Amino acid sequence: METQIGQHLIQPADRMNGLPTQFFAKLVAKANAQTAKGRDVINLGQGNPDQPTPPHIVAKLQEAAANPLYHKYPPFSGYPFLKEAVAKRYKEDYNVDVDPTTEVAILFGGKTGLVEISQCLLNPGDVCLVPDPGYPDYWSGVALAGAEMAFMPLTEQNNYLPNYEAISPELAERAKLMFMNYPNNPTGAVASAEFYEETVKYAEKHGIVVASDFAYGAIGFDGHKPISFLQTPGAKEVGIEFYTLSKTYNMAGWRVGFAIGNAQIIRLINLIQDHYYCSLFGGIQEAAALALTGPQDCVADLRAMYESRREALFTALDRIGWKAVRPGGSFFCWLPVPAGYTSESFADLLLQEADVVVAPGVGFGTHGEGFVRLGLLTSEARLQEAVERIGKLNLF
């Protein structure tokens, strides 16, 4: 990709040409084109929480915004009070002891940390183990580091968990970093304590750093609370966990998250961020600390709302004969595509004929082919209406 400006040809750095295509930008463009025609589009394709941030958190930001202290540069690695709030939440929720001074890094949203960790740990030619299907921004960090990706297939037969025995010993020895994500985007699968124990042993054996993406950690269904990777004995020796306030507290637009765990890795993340940023606005940090230490009823209410939406959606799916497995966590549903369609052609059909947006599974990796992802991010009535529209196409 080259750009002509005046008489000069602008040549981007190689790393810019090596970045993966933003698949979901194309999805948004298709949906917007239909909306521009005046169509009533129901967008179930994106992962943007639809509820407002709880009022007590908003009120804290409004109050904190007037504090002149926060009008100055914040400390480079964030205010100690926010790191202490993170440690308190992990102790209460997961009984994990965390040193707020050395084992917590404040992030501009979880996505930032997921890209930064590859740049902190990977050299050109190093291997990173990546789930397939998985969150595409893992790929971005690996590409920016000039490293190689090796995909770990997540299949329904294996409960969407990677099979470490299927990874060749040669590849395992080259691998320096591994991403995992439970509750899982896009499949909605959850991980067991036994799986995390196996993961720690595997990482120790091969010298692999584990990056656990716990973005949906607050959203578990059927009475099951998702497990933090850091609850596993030895987890802090081999890795870190990424958490975001986006999903738990409907704070997606606030861009605040954290990395937590191994002190050496946390030090590297803080170091790279020293060169990129000067931390978050102090008022946001104070509001985030309140979210973590204040009443958690809003989190329980949100979880119950998503579970109710899940039931409404699957009751409607049963009516039209679209058979799928209910997700154990996250706010996503992973549904098989009917025979004769690819995930992308099926998604295009639903947009053109039913004005319903779903995310094609292939956008999350080659093993996502044959599925589409739906988000539980609109009202029960709109979810039911979307399924009714799809049912009229008589595909199931």
Q: Are 98 and 86 in contact (CB under 8 A)?
A: yes
Alpha carbons 107 and 244: distance in angstroms, whole number: 9
User: Each residue of 26-49: pLDDT tens digit?
Assistant: 888 888 898 899 999 999 998 899
User: What is the Rg, in whole angstroms, of the alpha carbon atoms belonging to the chain?
Assistant: 21
Q: Where in the chain is the domain with CATH 3.40.640.10?
A: 55-293
244 strand-pairing partners: 257
According to the model, what pLDDT value does residue 19 have? Answer: 84
Domain with CATH 3.90.1150.10 in the chain: 10-52+298-391
How high is the mean pLDDT in each 10-residue block of the chain (396 residues)?
Answer: 68 86 81 90 92 98 98 95 98 97 96 96 96 94 95 96 96 96 97 98 98 98 97 98 97 97 98 93 98 97 98 97 96 97 96 96 96 97 97 94
Domain 55-293 is of which CATH architecture? 3-Layer(aba) Sandwich (3.40)
pLDDT, position 30: 86
d(CA 130, CA 144) in angstroms, rounded, equals 15
CA distances from 233 to 209, 236, 239 (A): 15, 8, 12
SS3 track for 352-364: HHHCEECEEHHHH
DSSP state of 45: S
CATH class, domain 10-52+298-391, is alpha beta
Chain centroid to Cα 172, Å, comes to 24
Edge-first strand listing for the sheet containing 148-153 = 104-107, 257-261, 239-244, 209-213, 175-181, 127-132, 148-153
Q: Any bridge partners for residue 332, and if so which? A: 375
Chain-centroid distance, C-alpha 69: 33
Helix, strand, coil % (nearest 5) of the chain? 50, 15, 35
Under a CB-based contact definition with an 8 Å cutoff, are residues 160 and 189 in contact? Answer: yes
CB 393 within 8 A of CB 160: no
